[in-house]
Each structure stands twice: as C-alpha cells, then as structure tokens.
Amino acid sequence: MPHALLVSGSLGQGHDVMAQACADTLRELGWTTSTVDAMALLGERSGPAGEAVFRRLLDLPGVYDAFHFSALRPGARIALLADAAARARLVPALRRLVEAQRPQLVVSVFATATSAVNHVQEWGQGREFRHFVFCTDVTPHRLWVQEGTDLFLVTSEVAACAVRRYRPDADIAVVPAPLRRPFYRPPGRAVARDELAVPPDAPCVLLMSGSWGLGPLARTAASLAAAGPHVLAVAGRNRELERRLRAAAIRRPRLHPFGYTDRIPTLMAAADLVVTSSGDTCSEARALGRRLLLLDVVQGHGRDNLQHELELGHADVSTARPAEVVRNALAALKRPSPAPSPGATPEGWRTGFGAALRRVGLS
C-alpha cells in the first residue's frame, strides 16, 4: 500500500481537521497514513514556547496584525529568520520519520512545516516523495509558499492568486473545503433541538470562537440569553471560559454551556444563527445552511478570511463587544438563512483530492 505522512500543527484545531480530512480520503483510496504535530516535533521546550508566543501576540491588540501584514505576508527578514530557526529543529525529526515510513506523499497543513519538508526532500537522493501544501486561508502568507512544493491545495481562486504572488509558476489545485464527516450527514433541526432541550420554535444561536475561545464569550453568552434567544455556547479547550459559562448558566436558563465537544454538528443543526470567528467553522455552517455572524477577533489572516466570508454572502460582522454582538445577532435572526452549500458533499472533496493525486502521478 502507498503511504502518506501528514504534518499538522497544534495552533488551533483547524490544521488537525484538514489533516484528518486528507487522511480519511487517502485511506478510502487504499493508502496508509500517519499524522504528526510539527509543534511537538520542535521539542519539549520549543513547541510550547512557540505556542505561548503566538497566543501572546494574539492577546496584544494590533501586534499580530503588524507581524502578519508587515513580516509574514511580504516574507520580511524577521519572518524568514523565524522560519529558519524552526526548520533547523524540524528537519532532523522529519528526516527520521521519512526514513522510517518511506512515504510516497507528504502533506503539510501547517506553514511551519512547509520549508522543512522541502529541505528533507533536497537532502534525499532524487524525488523520494511528493509534497502537497494544503492551506484554507484566503491569502496564504509567504511561509506557506516555498520552492520544492509539488502542488498547492487551496479552497478559492483568491487563494490561488495569493500563491502565485510568490511562485508565479506554482502548480495549484482549487478544491472544496473538506468537512468533518458528521457534517455531511447532520441530524435534522427537530431531532437536534429535542436532544438539546431547545424548544422547537424558539430562536437559537450557536456561539463559539475557535478551540481557544477567543473574545469575551461568557459575557456575550449571558447578554444574548438575557435578550431572548437560546444560546448554545462552546468554550472549546478554554477551561476558564467553560467555568464562566457554567456559572452564568445558573442564572440564565436559556444559556446552554459546553466545553470541548464533538457535538458541534448537532449544535449547529439546532441553531438558527452561528456566531463565530472566521475559520473552518464557516464552511461547516454554510454546509448546513446556517447564517453567520462573524466576530472580528482573529488578527492577521483572520481579517482576510473574514472579508472573504462576507463576500460569499449570508454573513454579517461584529466587534467582540457583548452589546454589539447582541444587537447584531438579534438583527441577523430576522434575516433569511441560505440554502446548504451545493458543493459541501463528500463526493466533491474526494473528487478534487483524487484529481490532485493524479496530477502528480500518485493515482
């Protein structure tokens, strides 16, 4: 059987979701797969330190915006130096994995892995494997686009243009955004509401902001529940946020708190509106035909992704201030919901990914 190595990254959950989608499809096509976390490969100290720095940048208003738009996007010296430092740690670990597993394909779904994988390829004798880079951002920055990558997988023509900014001759495949498997067959609205104890005719909002729970979600959830709708509030892996949501729910019976959960397809099926940060959750909401209210809380690439979601339609935007979120959510609940995305089918993703494999002679 052919084998694929997928290189993800533990900064948020989106990278892991894309890696899992690739792995699932490859296994359906007869491949074996393994997935590694690039942040873990950096080492016991460097990996957690890198994540801490990234989260600190996001916590400081405007700092990550400045780094993204003035350093990562143009490929400024500071960004290239940071990439080189990470690559120096990743290449030896990736070499060992490639030597042990002998993959025919390596898929990078994390920018930090891109140049490291290409350096492993240069170290080997000849073309030992094909290298895909898969990025769902609407504007991939410079570190995503490196010489030596065989094929870039993106989910929009805008993203393809962004790749060609750095490599005009790049081979690019535009594919549908893959979804986690349960989103292809979600429960019906009535079934989901019955499971969650939400009245059939009550307005209902799903509130979430990535696995880190960015923004003042606890105050927003309480304020929104006080305004009338049932609120399904998800804290993700943010334990402190989960504690605050559960405390607020004692006083707000229409507030339904959740920590990290695999029930997002059910929560989304029950909701009339999805309030979230820009990211892969937007594709999931569109697949189910749910209107979006986007929280402007993710700096850098999040700004670009937000603008693209607004252009796609059936979406509004708000700051993260609770009063403004409530006002925008109540207005959005009165607007019509879209039909489910016509391209959000497992066949669409499998067809696109299978065609990508054929383009590099792997199928």
Across 54-63, 132-141, 188-197, least confident range? 54-63
Q: What pLDDT, on the 0 to 100 scale, is given for residue 127?
A: 60
Residue whose C-alpha is closest to residue 80's, from 148, 143, 164, 149 = 143
What pLDDT is recorded for position 49? 66
Reply yes or no on whether the pLDDT at 169 is more than 80: yes
Q: What is the pLDDT of residue 317?
A: 97
CATH number for the domain that contains residue 46: 3.40.50.2000
Helix axes 14-28, 280-287, angle to 10 degrees: 60
Give one word for 313, left, alpha or beta, with left for phi > 0 and alpha for psi -120 to 50.
Answer: left
Q: What is the C-alpha to C-alpha distance for residues 363 and 98, in angstroms, rounded to an integer?
A: 21
Are 60 and 203 members of one domain?
no
Asked if the model's pLDDT at residue 47 lies above 70, the reply is no
Residues 6+ apart with CB under 8 A from 350: 25, 28
Residue 300 lies in a domain: yes
Looking at the structure, tell me whether residues 12 and 113 fall in a common domain. yes
Whole-model pTM: value is 0.90
Domain membership flag for residue 196: yes
Please tell me whether residues 148 and 161 are part of one structural domain: yes
The answer to whether residues 216 and 98 belong to one domain is: no
Number of domain units in the chain: 2
Average pLDDT (161-184) is: 94
pLDDT of residue 172: 97
Q: What average pLDDT score do residues 304-324 get?
A: 95
**161 shares a domain with 101:** yes
Of 16, 13, 308, 12, residue with least CA distance to 157:
308
- The mean-pLDDT minimum among 39-53, 204-218, 259-273 falls in 39-53
Tokens 């995503």 sit on residue: 144
Question: Which residue has 């850098």 as its token pair?
Answer: 300
Same-domain check for residues 128 and 161: yes
Say if CB 202 and CB 224 are below 8 A apart: no
Domain that holds residue 298: 181-332
Residue type for position 69:
F
Taking the C-alpha atoms of residue 216 and residue 360, their distance in angstroms, rounded to an integer, is: 46
Of the given ranges (119-128, 210-219, 303-312), which has the lowest mean pLDDT? 119-128
Instruction: Please report, rounded to a whole number, the percentage of residues in the chain having pLDDT higher than 90.
Output: 76
Averaged pLDDT score across all residues of the chain: 91
Q: What is residue 318's three-state secondary structure? A: strand
190 and 173, same structural domain? no
pLDDT in tens, 323-354: 999 999 999 999 999 999 877 788 889 999 99
User: Which residues have CB under 8 Å from 89's CB, separation 6+?
Assistant: 41, 42, 43, 46
User: Which pLDDT value is given to residue 12?
Assistant: 65
Cα-Cα-Cα-Cα torsion 219, 224, 225, 229, nearest 10 degrees, comes to -160
Asked if the model's pLDDT at residue 235 lies above 90, the reply is yes
The pLDDT value given to residue 16? 86
pLDDT of res. 181? 86
Q: Within this chain, do residues 27 and 68 fall inside the same structural domain, yes or no?
A: yes
